[in-house]
Amino acid sequence: MTLAARRQAPIYTGTRIPSPIPTVLKVDPALRVDDDILEVNFGPNHPSTHGVLRLIVELNGERVEGIEAVIGYLHTGFEKNMEQKTWWKAITYPERIDYLSFQINELAFVLAIEKLLGVEPPPRATWMRTLLCELSRIHSHLIWLGTGALELGAISLLWYCFRERDAVLDLFELVTGVRMHTRYFQAGGLAEDIPPGFFTECRKFADMFPARVDEYEALLDRQAIWLERTKGIGLLSAEDAIALGQSGPVLRASGVDWDLRKVEPYLAYDQVDFDVPVYFNGDVYDRYKVRMDEMRESTRIVQQCLDGMPEGPWIVDDRKIVLPPRHELHTSMESLIHHFKLVTEGYRVPAGEVYVAVESARGELGCYVVSDGGSKPWRVKFRAPSFVALEATATTVAGSLVADLIAILGSLDTVMGDCDR
Amino acid sequence: MADVGRKKRLADYGIHSERTLMRKKGPGVFEQELGDLESKLGLSTVEKAVAWAQGHSIWPDTFGLACCAMEMIAIVGSRYDVARFGAEVFRSSPRQADLMIVSGRVSHKMAAPLRQIYDQMLEPKWVIAMGACASSGGMFANYAVLQGVDKVVPVDVHVPGCPPRPAPGVVRRRRSGAERRLRLADRRLARARGLRPHGHRIRRAPRSEADPHGRRLGGASAAQGLPHRR
């Protein structure tokens, strides 16, 4: 459902994707002869590249004529590492891939395991996962806004956003015991029941948060410098966005109404009521607006999850994949054996392959899992939205100024852990 | 002044004046006077002042790599305000930074830029390995991750956690290397004056016939004839 008025004219005609390689912008050879091209290294250690991204930028004065991204500075070997761990232990890894919306990463992997196992988590677990994923989305957008605004000069937003981010992390700590990288989702449900007191605190947060989003918008929406630096910058038309494989806020800011939560609902998204913000100008400002509206919609979903949270078990009852409750270990031999097998060898997942896609804060996060029937994954591959978003860099940055380059990179919201894995 | 037992000057702590234009000029009048002051005042006072100043205005370099970087930025936030420790300015340029907080996993590809950034920092400089990945490679014992950043740079403080809570990472960090050396000097000084580090007087048992060296046979209280103190 669209929230913005559709543009009358297309963003631009034709395509701006540079050829032959869509990710590399090459300097026009005529320019090299006449003008002075300066090659600048936006090295891996840079405050504004959102992680360890290296850009080799060729400048003609202030104008970006050529750009090439060098990635791999954060390549961690997640996928290979996960092949060495049992399914249970491997769940710890995906969270660190996209370290801003960490629980959504975990969700993708856990949903894949559950699909291969053929188990359906109980409704309490599903609704709680929905709630936590939306809190993760809020967390990710808060950091995006704080750091993105910081780079464009709106420095005070860093402190405001991180104040709210600490509130979100407090909620995570209340539920799971850890601020970040919570490892709360388990194959079959949640690791532990929801502690008492969480719902009150979460409701307080959900009541307080929309007003804070309004505050941020009051600071930025009509601010002249912000508008100068974001309106009309980094244009990406809908056709180009689809050709480049974009998803998430980048795609929705270019006018394409595509959100996996609506199109292919998972978890409890088909049972809650929310809108998907779509804007039509395809510039940095619209990507900012999409994310701000997404924060509000996420708060709506959180409130509905709080209202509709069902009672019941938090994890499925299958002892072959879930640890039995500890008091049973004293009385039941089968429970003891199950516990032993689960802790030493881990559960076995039937052979097969599955692809699960969820809507992360950055776009479509996909997890492709191949199992050979054993207790460890045979192959795990993540379709990382940030990697794909980086491919739009060359297109959006063509012909812009250096300062706009920073704004555009911020609006693409890439996380290098996600990009390099 | 003899070179043996030469006391350390400010220059030995890496504090030089910026004589970039007139390199061969030698110490100026102020530095000469400061040097004389060092000799006159006795070392520990000036060392203390230097260490205090350094410890209370450490400027970190923005070396955020991965998840720990988010907690590092949380340190800057208003809840775990690091500005109260004097470290509010995160400098992007390593040439202006004192402290490199390596926050996040270091891949082998990144190890070379890491060392380069470390080399670009001016003395005195410190390194915190924040988190499990920087300290030892963390959970990533694989081909891609450097198993501990101390393989390429000397690390002063390892902070465990994945990611560490912002509070311990900051509060622990407050004592710089110079300050730690100073605390050791304090302890030696106190010992020489007959005090324990916290200021209590060291009580030794008096020498007696049974105990000619004053060693406590049976404990200090026993030598004094007191019942054994728990």
Residue bearing the bigger pLDDT, B62 or A170:
A170
Highest mean pLDDT among A262-266, A327-331, B190-194: A262-266
For residue A78, the chain B residues in CB contact (below 8 A) are 140
Highest mean pLDDT among A295-304, B38-47, B80-89, B181-190: A295-304
The reply to whether omega before B163 is within 30° of 0 (cis) is: yes
**DSSP assignment of A308-322:** TPPPS-SB---TTTS
User: Mean pLDDT throughout A121-135?
Assistant: 94
Q: A51 and B65 in contact by Cβ < 8 A?
A: yes
Phi then psi dihedrals of residue B157, to 5 deg: -130, 130
In angstroms, rounded to a whole number, what is the distance separating the alpha carbons of residues B228 and B230? 6
- Would you say B158 and B129 are in contact if contact means Cβ atoms under 8 Å apart? yes
**DSSP assignment of A179-229:** SS----EETTEESSPPPTTHHHHHHHHHHHHHHHHHHHHHHHTT-HHHHHH
Q: How many CA atoms lie within 13 A of B20 on its CB side?
A: 1
Q: Is A363 helix (H, G, I), strand (E, B) or coil?
A: strand
- Which one of A103, A158, A180, A421 would you mutate to disrupt binding with B, by most B Cβ within 10 Å of its Cβ? A180
Nearest neighbour of A99 by CB, restricted to B70, B76, B145:
B70
Count CB atoms within 10 A of the CB of residue A375: 17
Q: Is A38 helix (H, G, I), strand (E, B) or coil?
A: strand
| Residue in this structure with the two tokens 């660190």, named with its chain if needed | A96
pLDDT at residue A153 greater than cutoff 90: no
Q: Is B42 helix (H, G, I), strand (E, B) or coil?
A: coil
User: Mean pLDDT throughout A92-96?
Assistant: 92
Residue bearing the bigger pLDDT, A146 or B80:
A146
Strand-pairing partners, residue A190, are: A185
Q: Which residues contact A75 (CB under 8 A, 6 or more apart)?
A: A420, A421, B107, B109, B144
A350 and B CB contact within 8 Å:
no
Q: Is A355 helix (H, G, I), strand (E, B) or coil?
A: strand
Q: A96 and B67 in contact by Cβ < 8 A?
A: yes
Confidence of residue A4 (pLDDT cuts 50, 70, 90): low
- Tens-digit pLDDT profile for residues B9-18: 656 665 555 4
Q: B74 and A166 in contact by Cβ < 8 A?
A: yes
For residue B143, the chain A residues in CB contact (below 8 A) are 77, 80
Where is average pLDDT lowest: A90-94, A239-243, B86-90? B86-90
Q: How far is B35 from chain A (nearest CA, A)?
A: 39
User: Mean pLDDT throughout A279-283?
Assistant: 89
Where is average pLDDT lowest: A18-27, A237-246, B132-141, B184-193? B184-193
Q: Which helix (H) or strand (E) holds B79?
A: none
Phi then psi dihedrals of residue B88, to 5 deg: -75, -25
Nearest neighbour of B110 by CB, restricted to A44, A47, A163:
A44
- Would you say A142 and A100 are in contact if contact means Cβ atoms under 8 Å apart? no
Count CB atoms within 10 A of the CB of residue A250: 28
Output the CA–CA distances (angstroms, integers) from residue A392 to A240, A251, A412, in the order listed: 9, 11, 8
Smallest CA–CA distance from B115 into chain A, residue: A45
- Tens-digit pLDDT profile for residues A5-21: 666 667 777 788 887 78
| Residue in this structure with the two tokens 């856990």, named with its chain if needed | A110
Share of chain A above pLDDT 90, in %: 50
Question: Which residues of chain B are at the A interface, by a Cβ-Cβ cutoff of 8 Å?
Answer: 62-67, 69-71, 73-74, 76-79, 90, 92, 94, 104-105, 107, 109-110, 113, 117, 139-145, 162-163, 165
Confidence of residue B229 (pLDDT cuts 50, 70, 90): very low
Q: Which helix (H) or strand (E) holds B5?
A: none
Q: How far is B54 from chain A (nearest CA, A)?
A: 24
User: Mean pLDDT throughout B97-113?
Assistant: 89
* Sign of the Cα pseudo-torsion (A107, B79, B172, B59, in order): positive
- Tens-digit pLDDT profile for residues A29-46: 777 777 788 889 988 888
Q: A75 and B144 in contact by Cβ < 8 A?
A: yes
In angstroms, rounded to a whole number, what is the distance separating the alpha carbons of residues A161 and A147? 9
Task: Supply the Cα-derived Rg of chain A in whole angstroms.
Answer: 23
Q: Is A39 helix (H, G, I), strand (E, B) or coil?
A: strand
Instruction: Report the mean per-residue pLDDT for chain A.
Output: 89
Confidence of residue B228 (pLDDT cuts 50, 70, 90): very low
Quote the ipTM score. 0.84
Using CA atoms in the order A92, A94, A96, A97, what is the torsion angle rounded to 10 degrees? 170
Report which of B1, B2, B29, B34 is spatially closest to residue B15, judged by C-alpha positions.
Answer: B34
Nearest neighbour of B142 by CB, restricted to A77, A100, A180:
A77
Identify the pLDDT of residue B67: 87
Q: Is A160 helix (H, G, I), strand (E, B) or coil?
A: helix
Count CB atoms within 10 A of the CB of residue A155: 11
Phi/psi region, residue A409 (left: phi>0; alpha: psi -120 to 50; beta: rest), is alpha
Instruction: Kindly tell me the burial class for residue B2, based on how many C-beta atoms sit within 10 Å of its own C-beta (0-12, 13-18, 19 or more).
Output: exposed
Q: How many CA atoms lie within 13 A of A213 on its CB side?
A: 23
Q: Is A381 helix (H, G, I), strand (E, B) or coil?
A: strand
In angstroms, rounded to a whole number, what is the distance separating the alpha carbons of residues B144 and B111? 11
Confidence of residue A129 (pLDDT cuts 50, 70, 90): very high
DSSP state of B189: H
Where is average pLDDT lowest: A404-413, B21-30, B105-114, B125-134? B21-30
Q: How far is A25 from chain B (nearest CA, A)?
A: 24
Q: B140 and A100 in contact by Cβ < 8 A?
A: no
- Would you say A397 and A16 are in contact if contact means Cβ atoms under 8 Å apart? no
In angstroms, rounded to a whole number, what is the distance separating the alpha carbons of residues A298 and B16? 55
User: Mean pLDDT throughout A127-138?
Assistant: 94
CATH 1.10.645.10, applies to A78-385: yes
Q: Which helix (H) or strand (E) holds A69?
A: strand A63-70
pLDDT at residue B170 greater than cutoff 60: no
pLDDT at residue A360 greater than cutoff 90: yes
pLDDT at residue A256 greater than cutoff 80: yes
Instruction: Compute the 3-state secondary structure of chain B and give helix, strand, coil in percent, each to the nearest 5.
Output: 45, 10, 45
Identify the pLDDT of residue A262: 92
Report which of B83, B104, B111 is spatially closest to residue B161, judged by C-alpha positions.
Answer: B104
CATH 3.90.1150.10, applies to B60-173: no
Smallest CA–CA distance from A43 into chain B, residue: B113
For residue B113, the chain A residues in CB contact (below 8 A) are 43-45, 73
Nearest neighbour of A180 by CB, restricted to B67, B110, B145:
B67
Q: Is A350 helix (H, G, I), strand (E, B) or coil?
A: coil
Identify the pLDDT of residue A17: 81
User: Mean pLDDT throughout A223-239?
Assistant: 90
Q: A81 and B117 in contact by Cβ < 8 A?
A: no
- Which one of A96, A143, A155, A414 would you mutate to disrupt binding with B, by most B Cβ within 10 Å of its Cβ? A96
- Tens-digit pLDDT profile for residues A172-210: 989 988 888 988 998 889 988 888 889 999 999 999 999
In angstroms, rounded to a whole number, what is the distance separating the alpha carbons of residues A32 and A153? 33
Q: A74 and B145 in contact by Cβ < 8 A?
A: no
Output the CA–CA distances (angstroms, integers) from residue A243 to A36, A53, A155, A387, B50, in the order listed: 33, 23, 35, 15, 60
A181 and B CB contact within 8 Å:
yes
Nearest neighbour of B165 by CB, restricted to A92, A96, A179:
A179
Domain ranges of chain A: 78-385
pLDDT at residue A391 greater than cutoff 50: yes
In angstroms, rounded to a whole number, what is the distance separating the alpha carbons of residues B174 and A410? 33
Smallest CA–CA distance from B77 into chain A, residue: A159
In angstroms, rounded to a whole number, what is the distance separating the alpha carbons of residues A36 and A104? 46
A368 and B CB contact within 8 Å:
no
- Which one of A162, A172, A418 would you mutate to disrupt binding with B, by most B Cβ within 10 Å of its Cβ? A162
Identify the pLDDT of residue B127: 86
Strand-pairing partners, residue A68, are: A56
Name the token pair of A242: 């689809």
For residue B146, the chain A residues in CB contact (below 8 A) are none
Phi then psi dihedrals of residue A186, to 5 deg: -125, 155
User: Mean pLDDT throughout B163-176?
Assistant: 60
Identify the pLDDT of residue B79: 81
Instruction: Report the mean per-residue pLDDT for chain B.
Output: 70
pLDDT at residue A243 greater than cutoff 70: yes
For residue A92, the chain B residues in CB contact (below 8 A) are 139
Q: A76 and B110 in contact by Cβ < 8 A?
A: no
Using CA atoms in the order A357, A361, A362, A368, what is the torsion angle rounded to 10 degrees? -20
Length of chain B: 230
Confidence of residue B4 (pLDDT cuts 50, 70, 90): very low
Smallest CA–CA distance from B108 into chain A, residue: A73
A56 and B CB contact within 8 Å:
no
pLDDT at residue A361 greater than cutoff 80: yes
pLDDT at residue B6 greater than cutoff 70: no
DSSP state of B101: E
Highest mean pLDDT among A300-314, B43-57, B123-137: A300-314
Count of pairs with CB atoms under 8 A, one residue in A, one in B: 100
